Amino acid sequence: MTLPPVLILGGRSDIGLACAHAFAAKGHPVQLAARNAAALQPEATDLGLRHAVPVSTHEFDVLDTAGHAAFLDALPAAPGIVVCAIGMMGAQEASEIDFAAAAQVMRSNFEAPAAILGLVANRMEALGSGTIVGISSVAGDRGRATNYVYGSAKAGFTAFLSGLRNRLAQTGVHVVTVKPGFVATRMTAGMDLPARLTAQPEELGAAVVTAVIRKRNVIYVRPVWALVMAIIRTIPEPVFKRLKL
C-alpha cells in the first residue's frame, strides 16, 4: 500500500526532523519545508537512505503568508499528513519592552502557523481526508510571568487547532494537538530542565505518529505533563499571583 506524503513545516527544527524520521520509518514519503531549504539536503539524503523513502525539500517562510497558497500549489504531491513544527520562543524580557519582538513571537507561533494550516484544512476538506498535526505547548495552558508572550501565542494556536478539529469532525479530516512539555532541542539548550519532564525529540516523533494512527485529539508527549498542568490550572488566581513560575 502506498502511504501518503507527510509535509513537515519547520523541517529544520529538531522536532520537525524527529517527526520526519518517525513517519519515514513507517514508509511515508517526506516533504521537508523550511527557509533556506537547499541547506536541508544533507538531512533529506540521510532520511532517504535510512528509511528508503522519497524525500524532497521545499523553500518555505511561514511569515510570508501571502505566499502560502503558491507554496502548497508547488508541492510535488498533495500531502496526506501535515505536521506544523514551527515555533519561536523569543526572550520574554525583550518582548516586555519591544512590541516588535513580541509581535514576532506571536506571529511565529500563532498567526502564521494558523494561516498555513487554515489553507491546508480547506484543501483537505475538499478531498475529504487528511490529518493536521499542530505542535503547540503546555505554555498555552496558563499564562505565567516568565513566558506569557510565547504562552499566549501558543494558547491561541491551541484554541485554533481545537476549533479546526471541531469544524472538520464530520469531513474525514482529523486534527491533532501536541503539547510537548520540555524537549531537549537546540531551542532549550543551556536550560536547566528536569529529566523526568524532558522528552527527547525521537520520543516526541514516535508519540506524534502514534497519535495520528490512533486519531488522538490532544496529547501531552509525557503524560505527567497532563497532571502538572492540571494542577497549575487549578491554582486560585490570588495564590498564583504570588508565585514566580
Query: Grid cell 519515514 — which residue?
Result: 24
**How far is the C-alpha of 7 from the C-alpha of 9, rounded, in Å?**
6
* Chain-centre distance for alpha carbon 68: 17
Strands of 30-34's sheet in order across: 55-59, 30-34, 6-9, 81-84, 130-135, 173-179, 218-220
Grid cell at residue 217 = 485529539
- Asked if residues 101 and 91 have their Cβ atoms less than 8 Å apart, the reply is yes
**How far is the C-alpha of 4 from the C-alpha of 48, rounded, in Å?**
16
Active site residues: 150
How is 71-85 classified by DSSP, letter by letter?
A: HHHTSSS--SEEEE-
Count of residues making up the chain: 245
Cα radius of gyration (the chain): 18
**At residue 56, what are phi and psi to the nearest 5 degrees?**
-125, 155
